Chains A and B, each alone.
Chain A
Amino acid sequence: MNSTPNAIKRDEKTGDPLFIDRRELRLRYEIPVKDIYPFFDGLREGRVLASKCKICLALYFPPQGSCPTCRKSDMDWVELGPTAKLLAVTKVYIKPQSFAEEEDYILGVGEFPEGVKALARLLFEGSRMPKIGTQMRIAVTKDSGENPLYVFVPTEPGSNEPAP
Protein backbone atom coordinates (compact mmCIF):
# COMPACT_ATOMS: atom_id res chain seq x y z
CA MET A 1 0.00 0.00 0.00
CA ASN A 2 1.83 3.04 -1.20
CA SER A 3 -0.50 5.89 -2.16
CA THR A 4 2.20 8.60 -2.52
CA PRO A 5 3.68 9.01 -5.98
CA ASN A 6 7.28 7.93 -6.03
CA ALA A 7 9.14 11.01 -7.23
CA ILE A 8 12.52 9.34 -7.31
CA LYS A 9 13.73 7.96 -10.63
CA ARG A 10 17.06 6.51 -11.71
CA ASP A 11 18.98 8.44 -14.37
CA GLU A 12 19.07 6.36 -17.55
CA LYS A 13 22.78 6.91 -18.15
CA THR A 14 24.37 7.12 -14.71
CA GLY A 15 21.85 5.26 -12.54
CA ASP A 16 22.00 8.10 -10.01
CA PRO A 17 18.77 8.73 -8.08
CA LEU A 18 16.96 11.92 -9.18
CA PHE A 19 13.98 13.55 -7.49
CA ILE A 20 11.56 14.54 -10.28
CA ASP A 21 10.05 17.91 -9.34
CA ARG A 22 6.23 17.79 -9.23
CA ARG A 23 5.68 21.56 -9.42
CA GLU A 24 5.66 22.66 -13.04
CA LEU A 25 6.20 26.34 -13.85
CA ARG A 26 4.79 27.77 -17.07
CA LEU A 27 5.58 31.34 -18.05
CA ARG A 28 4.00 33.65 -20.61
CA TYR A 29 5.03 37.28 -20.42
CA GLU A 30 2.84 40.34 -20.99
CA ILE A 31 5.02 42.95 -22.68
CA PRO A 32 3.86 46.61 -22.90
CA VAL A 33 4.16 48.04 -26.43
CA LYS A 34 2.39 51.37 -25.99
CA ASP A 35 5.44 53.48 -26.91
CA ILE A 36 6.03 51.58 -30.17
CA TYR A 37 2.42 50.98 -31.15
CA PRO A 38 2.81 52.76 -34.53
CA PHE A 39 5.20 49.93 -35.49
CA PHE A 40 2.37 47.41 -35.15
CA ASP A 41 -0.04 49.67 -37.05
CA GLY A 42 2.53 49.80 -39.85
CA LEU A 43 2.98 46.05 -39.85
CA ARG A 44 -0.76 45.54 -40.30
CA GLU A 45 -0.55 47.80 -43.36
CA GLY A 46 2.38 45.81 -44.72
CA ARG A 47 5.05 48.40 -43.84
CA VAL A 48 8.09 48.05 -41.54
CA LEU A 49 8.54 51.26 -39.55
CA ALA A 50 11.51 52.58 -37.63
CA SER A 51 11.24 55.38 -35.07
CA LYS A 52 13.10 58.63 -35.75
CA CYS A 53 13.89 61.29 -33.18
CA LYS A 54 12.31 64.58 -34.29
CA ILE A 55 15.15 66.54 -32.69
CA CYS A 56 18.42 64.78 -33.63
CA LEU A 57 16.94 62.67 -36.49
CA ALA A 58 18.51 59.47 -35.10
CA LEU A 59 16.86 56.39 -36.54
CA TYR A 60 15.98 53.45 -34.28
CA PHE A 61 15.36 49.89 -35.33
CA PRO A 62 14.17 47.97 -33.46
CA PRO A 63 12.05 51.04 -32.72
CA GLN A 64 12.01 52.68 -29.32
CA GLY A 65 9.83 55.42 -27.91
CA SER A 66 12.56 57.60 -26.40
CA CYS A 67 15.82 59.04 -27.72
CA PRO A 68 18.58 58.54 -25.12
CA THR A 69 20.69 61.30 -26.71
CA CYS A 70 18.04 64.03 -26.60
CA ARG A 71 16.23 62.53 -23.59
CA LYS A 72 12.93 63.23 -25.31
CA SER A 73 10.07 60.97 -26.39
CA ASP A 74 9.09 62.77 -29.58
CA MET A 75 9.30 60.35 -32.49
CA ASP A 76 8.44 60.27 -36.15
CA TRP A 77 7.80 56.92 -37.84
CA VAL A 78 9.49 56.18 -41.15
CA GLU A 79 9.26 53.20 -43.46
CA LEU A 80 12.39 51.05 -43.98
CA GLY A 81 13.62 49.55 -47.20
CA PRO A 82 12.48 47.99 -49.34
CA THR A 83 16.02 46.76 -50.11
CA ALA A 84 18.64 45.51 -47.67
CA LYS A 85 22.06 43.86 -47.99
CA LEU A 86 22.73 40.53 -46.28
CA LEU A 87 25.53 40.91 -43.68
CA ALA A 88 25.32 37.61 -41.79
CA VAL A 89 23.28 34.45 -42.19
CA THR A 90 22.61 31.10 -40.52
CA LYS A 91 20.27 28.17 -40.82
CA VAL A 92 18.94 26.89 -37.52
CA TYR A 93 18.79 23.10 -37.26
CA ILE A 94 18.62 22.60 -33.50
CA LYS A 95 15.57 24.59 -32.52
CA PRO A 96 14.19 25.90 -29.23
CA GLN A 97 11.30 24.01 -27.68
CA SER A 98 8.77 26.65 -28.68
CA PHE A 99 9.91 26.45 -32.35
CA ALA A 100 10.25 22.67 -32.41
CA GLU A 101 7.34 22.13 -34.83
CA GLU A 102 8.82 24.39 -37.52
CA GLU A 103 10.98 23.33 -40.46
CA ASP A 104 14.68 24.30 -40.22
CA TYR A 105 14.78 28.05 -40.86
CA ILE A 106 17.22 30.64 -42.22
CA LEU A 107 17.90 33.84 -40.27
CA GLY A 108 19.96 36.78 -41.41
CA VAL A 109 20.90 40.36 -40.64
CA GLY A 110 20.10 42.84 -43.41
CA GLU A 111 21.42 46.39 -43.62
CA PHE A 112 19.14 49.08 -45.06
CA PRO A 113 20.42 52.05 -47.09
CA GLU A 114 19.28 54.24 -44.17
CA GLY A 115 22.04 52.59 -42.08
CA VAL A 116 19.96 50.59 -39.61
CA LYS A 117 19.83 46.79 -39.67
CA ALA A 118 17.27 44.13 -38.88
CA LEU A 119 17.39 40.46 -38.04
CA ALA A 120 14.65 38.41 -39.67
CA ARG A 121 13.79 35.14 -41.36
CA LEU A 122 14.94 34.75 -44.97
CA LEU A 123 12.30 33.20 -47.17
CA PHE A 124 14.56 32.01 -49.98
CA GLU A 125 13.83 28.93 -52.06
CA GLY A 126 16.26 26.06 -52.39
CA SER A 127 18.55 24.42 -49.90
CA ARG A 128 21.66 26.55 -50.57
CA MET A 129 22.63 29.31 -48.16
CA PRO A 130 22.28 32.84 -49.60
CA LYS A 131 25.64 34.56 -50.07
CA ILE A 132 26.84 37.39 -47.83
CA GLY A 133 26.25 40.63 -49.73
CA THR A 134 23.06 39.41 -51.43
CA GLN A 135 20.52 42.17 -52.02
CA MET A 136 17.16 41.37 -50.43
CA ARG A 137 13.78 42.98 -50.02
CA ILE A 138 11.93 43.34 -46.71
CA ALA A 139 8.31 42.21 -46.81
CA VAL A 140 5.48 41.58 -44.41
CA THR A 141 3.96 38.13 -44.19
CA LYS A 142 2.07 36.25 -41.51
CA ASP A 143 3.50 33.86 -38.96
CA SER A 144 1.96 30.51 -38.09
CA GLY A 145 -0.39 32.26 -35.67
CA GLU A 146 -1.66 34.65 -38.41
CA ASN A 147 0.22 37.59 -36.86
CA PRO A 148 1.94 39.95 -39.32
CA LEU A 149 5.71 39.47 -39.34
CA TYR A 150 8.55 41.04 -41.36
CA VAL A 151 10.82 38.79 -43.42
CA PHE A 152 13.55 39.12 -46.05
CA VAL A 153 12.79 37.80 -49.55
CA PRO A 154 14.79 37.82 -52.83
CA THR A 155 14.73 41.20 -54.61
CA GLU A 156 12.86 39.57 -57.49
CA PRO A 157 11.12 36.22 -57.35
CA GLY A 158 13.59 33.45 -58.26
CA SER A 159 16.55 35.84 -58.39
CA ASN A 160 18.43 34.69 -55.30
CA GLU A 161 22.04 34.04 -56.05
CA PRO A 162 23.27 30.49 -55.66
CA ALA A 163 25.81 30.02 -52.89
CA PRO A 164 28.96 27.95 -53.34
Chain B
Amino acid sequence: MTKVAIVGAGISRFGRRTDANMNALAWESVSAALEDAGIEQKDIDFYSVGNVGVWSEENLPAVTVGEYAGLTPKGTMRVEAACATGSAAIKVARDSIASGSAKLAMAVGLEKMYGVPTPTIVELIGRAGNYFWEFENFGLTFPGYYALYASAYMAKYEAKEEDLALVAVKNHYYGSLNPFAQFQKQVSIDEVMTSKYVAHPLKLLDSSPITDGSAAVILADEETARRLTDTPVWIKGQGVASGSANLSKRSDFVSLDASVTAAKAAYSQAGIKNPVEDIDVATVHDCFTIAELMAYEDLGFVGRGKAVQLIRDEQTYKGGKIPVNLDGGLKAKGHPIGATGVGMAVEAVKQLRREAPKSRQADIRHGVALTHNVGGTGHYAYVTLYGLN
Protein backbone atom coordinates (compact mmCIF):
# COMPACT_ATOMS: atom_id res chain seq x y z
CA MET B 1 0.00 0.00 0.00
CA THR B 2 1.13 3.57 -0.71
CA LYS B 3 2.75 5.10 2.36
CA VAL B 4 0.51 7.62 4.07
CA ALA B 5 1.55 9.91 6.93
CA ILE B 6 -0.10 12.35 9.30
CA VAL B 7 1.46 15.76 8.73
CA GLY B 8 -0.83 17.88 10.88
CA ALA B 9 -2.95 17.30 13.97
CA GLY B 10 -5.32 19.42 16.03
CA ILE B 11 -7.81 18.91 18.82
CA SER B 12 -10.44 20.98 20.63
CA ARG B 13 -10.96 21.12 24.34
CA PHE B 14 -13.31 18.27 25.30
CA GLY B 15 -16.24 18.77 27.68
CA ARG B 16 -19.68 20.30 27.86
CA ARG B 17 -19.16 23.00 25.26
CA THR B 18 -22.09 25.38 25.53
CA ASP B 19 -19.83 28.04 24.03
CA ALA B 20 -19.53 26.49 20.55
CA ASN B 21 -21.96 25.09 17.97
CA MET B 22 -20.99 22.10 15.81
CA ASN B 23 -19.26 24.08 13.10
CA ALA B 24 -17.35 26.33 15.49
CA LEU B 25 -16.31 23.29 17.51
CA ALA B 26 -14.97 21.55 14.38
CA TRP B 27 -13.12 24.72 13.37
CA GLU B 28 -11.10 24.65 16.60
CA SER B 29 -9.40 21.41 15.56
CA VAL B 30 -9.41 22.00 11.80
CA SER B 31 -7.64 25.34 12.20
CA ALA B 32 -5.11 23.79 14.61
CA ALA B 33 -4.40 20.95 12.17
CA LEU B 34 -3.95 23.33 9.22
CA GLU B 35 -1.59 25.43 11.35
CA ASP B 36 0.34 22.35 12.45
CA ALA B 37 0.75 21.12 8.86
CA GLY B 38 1.60 24.58 7.55
CA ILE B 39 -0.90 24.34 4.69
CA GLU B 40 -4.02 26.14 3.50
CA GLN B 41 -7.51 24.85 2.84
CA LYS B 42 -6.95 25.00 -0.93
CA ASP B 43 -4.15 22.42 -0.57
CA ILE B 44 -6.60 19.77 0.72
CA ASP B 45 -7.89 17.42 -1.98
CA PHE B 46 -10.56 15.62 0.05
CA TYR B 47 -11.92 15.63 3.61
CA SER B 48 -14.05 13.20 5.58
CA VAL B 49 -16.14 14.16 8.59
CA GLY B 50 -16.77 11.52 11.22
CA ASN B 51 -19.99 12.31 13.08
CA VAL B 52 -22.74 10.13 14.51
CA GLY B 53 -25.18 12.93 15.24
CA VAL B 54 -28.95 12.92 15.79
CA TRP B 55 -28.39 14.64 19.17
CA SER B 56 -27.01 17.71 17.46
CA GLU B 57 -28.47 20.29 15.16
CA GLU B 58 -26.88 19.69 11.76
CA ASN B 59 -27.89 16.70 9.68
CA LEU B 60 -25.21 17.18 7.00
CA PRO B 61 -22.18 18.05 9.12
CA ALA B 62 -19.64 17.36 6.37
CA VAL B 63 -20.96 20.27 4.31
CA THR B 64 -21.74 22.64 7.17
CA VAL B 65 -18.25 22.14 8.63
CA GLY B 66 -16.74 22.55 5.16
CA GLU B 67 -18.58 25.82 4.61
CA TYR B 68 -17.57 27.24 8.01
CA ALA B 69 -13.97 26.07 7.70
CA GLY B 70 -13.46 27.32 4.14
CA LEU B 71 -13.13 23.84 2.63
CA THR B 72 -15.97 24.15 0.09
CA PRO B 73 -15.94 22.99 -2.79
CA LYS B 74 -13.61 20.12 -1.86
CA GLY B 75 -15.06 16.62 -2.03
CA THR B 76 -16.33 15.22 1.25
CA MET B 77 -18.56 12.71 2.99
CA ARG B 78 -19.84 12.01 6.47
CA VAL B 79 -18.58 8.74 7.98
CA GLU B 80 -20.23 6.64 10.71
CA ALA B 81 -18.91 3.65 12.68
CA ALA B 82 -20.52 4.40 16.07
CA CYS B 83 -17.80 5.17 18.63
CA ALA B 84 -15.14 4.14 16.08
CA THR B 85 -16.37 6.80 13.66
CA GLY B 86 -13.17 8.85 13.99
CA SER B 87 -10.97 5.94 12.97
CA ALA B 88 -13.31 5.21 10.08
CA ALA B 89 -12.93 8.83 8.94
CA ILE B 90 -9.15 8.32 9.00
CA LYS B 91 -9.53 5.12 6.96
CA VAL B 92 -11.52 6.96 4.30
CA ALA B 93 -8.95 9.77 4.12
CA ARG B 94 -6.04 7.30 4.06
CA ASP B 95 -7.69 5.19 1.35
CA SER B 96 -8.29 8.28 -0.77
CA ILE B 97 -4.54 8.93 -0.73
CA ALA B 98 -3.57 5.28 -1.15
CA SER B 99 -5.81 5.05 -4.21
CA GLY B 100 -4.00 8.01 -5.76
CA SER B 101 -7.13 10.19 -5.89
CA ALA B 102 -5.75 12.63 -3.30
CA LYS B 103 -2.33 13.82 -2.15
CA LEU B 104 -3.53 15.66 0.94
CA ALA B 105 -6.68 14.64 2.79
CA MET B 106 -8.17 15.67 6.11
CA ALA B 107 -10.14 13.54 8.57
CA VAL B 108 -12.30 15.50 10.98
CA GLY B 109 -14.03 13.90 13.97
CA LEU B 110 -16.87 15.84 15.53
CA GLU B 111 -19.53 15.21 18.14
CA LYS B 112 -21.83 17.63 19.94
CA MET B 113 -23.73 15.41 22.36
CA TYR B 114 -25.02 18.01 24.81
CA GLY B 115 -27.52 19.31 22.24
CA VAL B 116 -30.33 17.28 23.86
CA PRO B 117 -31.24 16.22 27.44
CA THR B 118 -29.36 13.25 28.97
CA PRO B 119 -32.33 10.78 28.93
CA THR B 120 -32.58 11.32 25.17
CA ILE B 121 -28.86 10.55 24.81
CA VAL B 122 -29.32 7.36 26.89
CA GLU B 123 -32.18 6.45 24.55
CA LEU B 124 -30.16 7.07 21.39
CA ILE B 125 -26.98 5.29 22.54
CA GLY B 126 -29.09 2.38 23.78
CA ARG B 127 -30.10 1.84 20.16
CA ALA B 128 -26.42 1.31 19.20
CA GLY B 129 -26.77 -2.41 18.68
CA ASN B 130 -29.75 -4.27 17.29
CA TYR B 131 -32.59 -1.82 17.73
CA PHE B 132 -35.55 -4.13 17.36
CA TRP B 133 -34.51 -7.21 19.33
CA GLU B 134 -32.50 -5.69 22.15
CA PHE B 135 -33.72 -2.13 22.63
CA GLU B 136 -37.36 -1.92 21.55
CA ASN B 137 -38.48 -4.87 23.63
CA PHE B 138 -36.11 -4.78 26.59
CA GLY B 139 -34.51 -1.37 27.04
CA LEU B 140 -30.87 -2.42 26.95
CA THR B 141 -28.66 0.64 27.48
CA PHE B 142 -25.12 1.28 26.34
CA PRO B 143 -23.62 0.86 29.81
CA GLY B 144 -25.79 -2.26 29.95
CA TYR B 145 -23.98 -3.78 26.96
CA TYR B 146 -20.60 -3.49 28.66
CA ALA B 147 -22.09 -4.45 32.03
CA LEU B 148 -23.10 -7.81 30.50
CA TYR B 149 -19.46 -8.32 29.50
CA ALA B 150 -18.27 -7.22 32.95
CA SER B 151 -20.55 -9.75 34.66
CA ALA B 152 -19.16 -12.65 32.63
CA TYR B 153 -15.54 -11.46 32.81
CA MET B 154 -15.68 -11.03 36.58
CA ALA B 155 -17.30 -14.44 37.06
CA LYS B 156 -14.79 -16.23 34.82
CA TYR B 157 -11.60 -14.58 36.08
CA GLU B 158 -12.63 -13.69 39.64
CA ALA B 159 -12.10 -9.99 39.03
CA LYS B 160 -13.60 -7.55 41.52
CA GLU B 161 -15.30 -4.21 41.12
CA GLU B 162 -12.23 -2.71 42.84
CA ASP B 163 -10.09 -3.99 39.94
CA LEU B 164 -12.28 -2.15 37.45
CA ALA B 165 -11.92 0.96 39.63
CA LEU B 166 -8.13 0.87 39.19
CA VAL B 167 -8.61 1.72 35.50
CA ALA B 168 -10.66 4.80 36.39
CA VAL B 169 -8.06 5.89 38.95
CA LYS B 170 -5.24 5.63 36.36
CA ASN B 171 -7.10 7.40 33.57
CA HIS B 172 -8.32 10.22 35.81
CA TYR B 173 -4.74 10.68 36.99
CA TYR B 174 -3.63 11.27 33.40
CA GLY B 175 -6.73 13.36 32.69
CA SER B 176 -5.57 15.64 35.51
CA LEU B 177 -2.42 16.29 33.45
CA ASN B 178 -4.23 17.03 30.17
CA PRO B 179 -5.56 20.58 29.69
CA PHE B 180 -7.82 19.37 26.84
CA ALA B 181 -9.52 16.72 29.03
CA GLN B 182 -13.12 16.92 30.24
CA PHE B 183 -12.18 15.76 33.76
CA GLN B 184 -8.91 17.23 34.92
CA LYS B 185 -9.16 15.81 38.41
CA GLN B 186 -8.02 12.63 40.08
CA VAL B 187 -10.43 10.14 41.68
CA SER B 188 -9.80 7.60 44.44
CA ILE B 189 -10.85 3.96 44.50
CA ASP B 190 -13.34 4.86 47.23
CA GLU B 191 -14.90 7.56 45.08
CA VAL B 192 -15.29 5.10 42.20
CA MET B 193 -16.65 2.37 44.48
CA THR B 194 -19.22 4.65 46.12
CA SER B 195 -20.46 6.21 42.88
CA LYS B 196 -23.96 5.10 41.88
CA TYR B 197 -24.66 2.06 39.74
CA VAL B 198 -25.50 2.87 36.15
CA ALA B 199 -25.85 -0.75 35.01
CA HIS B 200 -24.67 -3.33 37.54
CA PRO B 201 -21.73 -3.93 38.04
CA LEU B 202 -20.73 -0.68 36.32
CA LYS B 203 -20.97 2.57 38.23
CA LEU B 204 -20.94 6.18 37.18
CA LEU B 205 -17.17 6.45 37.65
CA ASP B 206 -16.62 3.28 35.59
CA SER B 207 -18.16 5.14 32.67
CA SER B 208 -16.88 7.64 30.13
CA PRO B 209 -18.88 10.88 30.08
CA ILE B 210 -21.12 12.52 27.52
CA THR B 211 -18.80 14.88 25.65
CA ASP B 212 -18.65 17.62 23.04
CA GLY B 213 -15.41 17.81 21.10
CA SER B 214 -13.59 17.67 17.78
CA ALA B 215 -10.24 16.54 16.41
CA ALA B 216 -8.63 16.71 12.98
CA VAL B 217 -5.64 15.15 11.24
CA ILE B 218 -4.15 15.92 7.84
CA LEU B 219 -2.81 12.98 5.84
CA ALA B 220 -0.39 13.06 2.95
CA ASP B 221 1.29 10.76 0.46
CA GLU B 222 5.01 10.11 0.94
CA GLU B 223 6.31 12.79 -1.40
CA THR B 224 4.03 15.48 0.01
CA ALA B 225 4.69 14.39 3.60
CA ARG B 226 8.47 14.64 3.20
CA ARG B 227 8.09 18.08 1.62
CA LEU B 228 5.92 19.38 4.48
CA THR B 229 7.60 18.01 7.59
CA ASP B 230 10.69 16.39 9.07
CA THR B 231 8.55 14.31 11.44
CA PRO B 232 5.82 12.60 9.45
CA VAL B 233 3.89 10.04 11.49
CA TRP B 234 3.27 7.07 9.20
CA ILE B 235 0.21 4.87 9.31
CA LYS B 236 1.98 1.52 9.52
CA GLY B 237 -1.14 -0.60 9.56
CA GLN B 238 -4.84 -0.48 10.20
CA GLY B 239 -6.97 -3.51 10.97
CA VAL B 240 -10.75 -3.24 10.77
CA ALA B 241 -13.43 -5.71 11.77
CA SER B 242 -17.08 -5.97 12.78
CA GLY B 243 -19.13 -8.00 15.26
CA SER B 244 -22.77 -9.09 15.39
CA ALA B 245 -25.35 -6.40 16.07
CA ASN B 246 -27.20 -8.66 18.52
CA LEU B 247 -25.20 -9.32 21.67
CA SER B 248 -27.06 -12.63 21.86
CA LYS B 249 -25.00 -13.79 18.87
CA ARG B 250 -21.65 -13.25 20.59
CA SER B 251 -19.59 -16.34 21.35
CA ASP B 252 -18.73 -15.32 24.90
CA PHE B 253 -18.74 -12.17 27.00
CA VAL B 254 -15.11 -11.89 28.09
CA SER B 255 -13.53 -10.57 24.88
CA LEU B 256 -14.45 -8.51 21.82
CA ASP B 257 -13.81 -10.74 18.79
CA ALA B 258 -13.73 -7.71 16.48
CA SER B 259 -10.83 -6.22 18.48
CA VAL B 260 -8.87 -9.47 18.23
CA THR B 261 -9.41 -9.68 14.47
CA ALA B 262 -8.54 -6.03 13.89
CA ALA B 263 -5.41 -6.25 16.05
CA LYS B 264 -4.11 -9.33 14.22
CA ALA B 265 -4.51 -7.60 10.87
CA ALA B 266 -2.86 -4.39 12.06
CA TYR B 267 0.07 -6.25 13.66
CA SER B 268 0.60 -8.27 10.51
CA GLN B 269 0.66 -5.14 8.31
CA ALA B 270 3.01 -3.27 10.65
CA GLY B 271 5.31 -6.22 11.40
CA ILE B 272 4.52 -6.21 15.12
CA LYS B 273 5.63 -9.52 16.65
CA ASN B 274 5.41 -8.77 20.36
CA PRO B 275 3.08 -5.84 21.06
CA VAL B 276 4.37 -5.14 24.58
CA GLU B 277 7.96 -5.03 23.34
CA ASP B 278 7.38 -3.31 20.01
CA ILE B 279 4.87 -0.59 20.98
CA ASP B 280 5.88 2.45 23.04
CA VAL B 281 2.44 3.78 23.96
CA ALA B 282 -1.18 2.82 23.39
CA THR B 283 -4.54 4.53 23.55
CA VAL B 284 -7.31 1.97 23.97
CA HIS B 285 -11.08 2.26 23.95
CA ASP B 286 -11.96 2.62 27.64
CA CYS B 287 -15.58 3.74 27.26
CA PHE B 288 -16.06 1.70 30.45
CA THR B 289 -13.37 0.39 32.79
CA ILE B 290 -14.10 -3.22 31.80
CA ALA B 291 -13.42 -2.27 28.17
CA GLU B 292 -9.83 -1.28 28.96
CA LEU B 293 -9.20 -4.58 30.73
CA MET B 294 -10.60 -6.59 27.83
CA ALA B 295 -8.50 -4.47 25.44
CA TYR B 296 -5.27 -5.48 27.24
CA GLU B 297 -6.09 -9.10 26.41
CA ASP B 298 -7.68 -8.59 22.97
CA LEU B 299 -4.61 -6.60 21.85
CA GLY B 300 -2.26 -9.28 23.14
CA PHE B 301 -0.62 -7.18 25.87
CA VAL B 302 -1.27 -10.07 28.29
CA GLY B 303 -2.82 -13.53 28.17
CA ARG B 304 -6.48 -14.29 28.88
CA GLY B 305 -7.54 -13.44 32.42
CA LYS B 306 -4.30 -11.57 33.16
CA ALA B 307 -5.47 -8.00 32.57
CA VAL B 308 -6.38 -7.47 36.20
CA GLN B 309 -2.83 -8.30 37.29
CA LEU B 310 -1.43 -5.84 34.73
CA ILE B 311 -3.43 -2.93 36.16
CA ARG B 312 -2.85 -4.05 39.78
CA ASP B 313 0.90 -3.96 39.06
CA GLU B 314 0.55 -0.49 37.49
CA GLN B 315 2.23 -1.75 34.32
CA THR B 316 0.01 0.42 32.09
CA TYR B 317 1.19 3.63 33.74
CA LYS B 318 3.98 5.73 32.19
CA GLY B 319 7.18 3.81 32.78
CA GLY B 320 5.36 0.47 32.88
CA LYS B 321 5.55 -2.41 30.42
CA ILE B 322 3.03 -0.75 28.10
CA PRO B 323 1.71 2.72 28.97
CA VAL B 324 -2.00 3.01 28.14
CA ASN B 325 -4.19 6.12 27.82
CA LEU B 326 -1.69 8.72 28.98
CA ASP B 327 -4.13 11.36 27.71
CA GLY B 328 -6.78 10.29 30.25
CA GLY B 329 -8.56 7.95 27.85
CA LEU B 330 -12.23 8.17 27.03
CA LYS B 331 -12.84 7.88 30.75
CA ALA B 332 -11.34 11.24 31.77
CA LYS B 333 -10.38 12.99 28.53
CA GLY B 334 -13.99 12.47 27.37
CA HIS B 335 -15.74 10.57 24.60
CA PRO B 336 -17.26 12.75 21.86
CA ILE B 337 -18.02 9.59 19.94
CA GLY B 338 -17.37 10.76 16.36
CA ALA B 339 -14.21 12.58 17.43
CA THR B 340 -12.69 9.95 19.71
CA GLY B 341 -10.76 7.98 17.06
CA VAL B 342 -9.28 11.13 15.55
CA GLY B 343 -8.44 12.36 19.05
CA MET B 344 -6.55 9.10 19.60
CA ALA B 345 -4.57 9.75 16.40
CA VAL B 346 -3.75 13.27 17.59
CA GLU B 347 -2.46 11.80 20.87
CA ALA B 348 -0.38 9.21 18.99
CA VAL B 349 1.18 12.00 16.90
CA LYS B 350 1.97 14.13 19.98
CA GLN B 351 3.46 11.15 21.82
CA LEU B 352 5.61 10.04 18.87
CA ARG B 353 6.85 13.60 18.24
CA ARG B 354 7.58 13.82 22.01
CA GLU B 355 5.29 16.85 22.26
CA ALA B 356 3.14 15.62 25.16
CA PRO B 357 3.58 17.36 28.53
CA LYS B 358 6.58 15.80 30.27
CA SER B 359 4.45 14.40 33.09
CA ARG B 360 2.60 12.14 30.68
CA GLN B 361 5.10 11.74 27.83
CA ALA B 362 5.89 8.07 27.18
CA ASP B 363 9.44 6.91 26.58
CA ILE B 364 9.62 6.63 22.78
CA ARG B 365 12.14 3.91 21.93
CA HIS B 366 10.79 2.13 18.87
CA GLY B 367 8.74 5.03 17.54
CA VAL B 368 5.51 3.03 17.45
CA ALA B 369 2.11 3.96 18.91
CA LEU B 370 -1.16 2.02 18.85
CA THR B 371 -4.74 3.24 18.83
CA HIS B 372 -7.66 0.89 19.53
CA ASN B 373 -11.06 2.35 18.72
CA VAL B 374 -14.21 0.28 19.21
CA GLY B 375 -17.67 1.14 17.89
CA GLY B 376 -20.63 -0.03 19.92
CA THR B 377 -19.69 -3.10 21.98
CA GLY B 378 -17.31 -4.59 19.45
CA HIS B 379 -19.80 -3.91 16.69
CA TYR B 380 -16.91 -2.19 14.93
CA ALA B 381 -13.20 -2.31 15.73
CA TYR B 382 -10.32 -0.28 14.29
CA VAL B 383 -6.76 -0.90 15.43
CA THR B 384 -4.21 1.47 13.92
CA LEU B 385 -0.43 1.53 14.28
CA TYR B 386 1.43 4.79 13.85
CA GLY B 387 5.20 5.07 13.51
CA LEU B 388 8.09 7.44 13.01
CA ASN B 389 9.67 5.13 10.43
Contact = CB atoms under 8 A, between A and B. Distances in A.
B133 interface: yes
B151 A13 contact: no
A36 B122 CA distance: 29
Q: How large is the interface on A (under 10, 10 to 19, 20 to 34, 35 or more residues)?
A: 35 or more
Enumerate the 4 nearest inter-chain pairs by beta-carbon distance, A residue then B residue, closest first.
A90-B147, A88-B148, A132-B155, A97-B119
Contacts of A99: 139
Contacts of A18: 18
Contact of B199 (A16, A94, A100): A94
Interface in B146-193: 147-152, 155-156
Interface in A104-120: 105, 107-109, 116-120
Interface in B330-353: none
A129 B248 CA distance: 19
Contacts of A117: 248-250
A93 B148 contact: no
Contacts of A21: 57
Interface residues of B, number: 44
Given A97-B119, A97-B123, A11 B18 contact: yes
B200 A93 contact: yes
A4 B248 CA distance: 52
Contact of B140 (A14, A92, A98): A92
Contacts of B126: 96
A156 interface: no
Interface string B227-257: 0000000000000000000111110110000
Nearest to B137: A149
B130 A62 contact: yes
A107 B134 CA distance: 10
Contacts of B148: 88-90, 107-109
B138 A107 contact: yes
Contact of B200 (A31, A90, A120): A90
Contacts of B196: 93
A37 interface: no
Interface of A: 11, 13-14, 16, 18, 21, 31, 61-62, 87-100, 102, 105, 107-109, 116-121, 129, 131-133, 143, 149
B199 A89 contact: no
A117 B250 CA distance: 9
B123 A107 contact: no
Interface of B: 16, 18-19, 57, 117, 119-120, 122-123, 126, 130, 132-135, 137-141, 143-144, 147-152, 155-156, 196-202, 246-250, 252-253
A117 B134 CA distance: 12
20 contacts: A18-B18, A62-B246, A89-B148, A90-B199, A94-B198, A95-B122, A96-B126, A97-B120, A98-B123, A98-B139, A99-B139, A105-B138, A105-B139, A107-B148, A109-B148, A109-B248, A109-B250, A117-B249, A117-B250, A118-B248
Contacts of B134: 119
Given A62-B130, A88-B152, A120-B138, A13 B247 contact: no
Contact of A62 (B123, B133, B139, B197): B133
Contacts of B156: 132
Nearest to B202: A90
A99 B151 CA distance: 23
A120 B198 CA distance: 18
- A31, A89, A102: most-surrounded residue (chain B CB, <10 A): A89
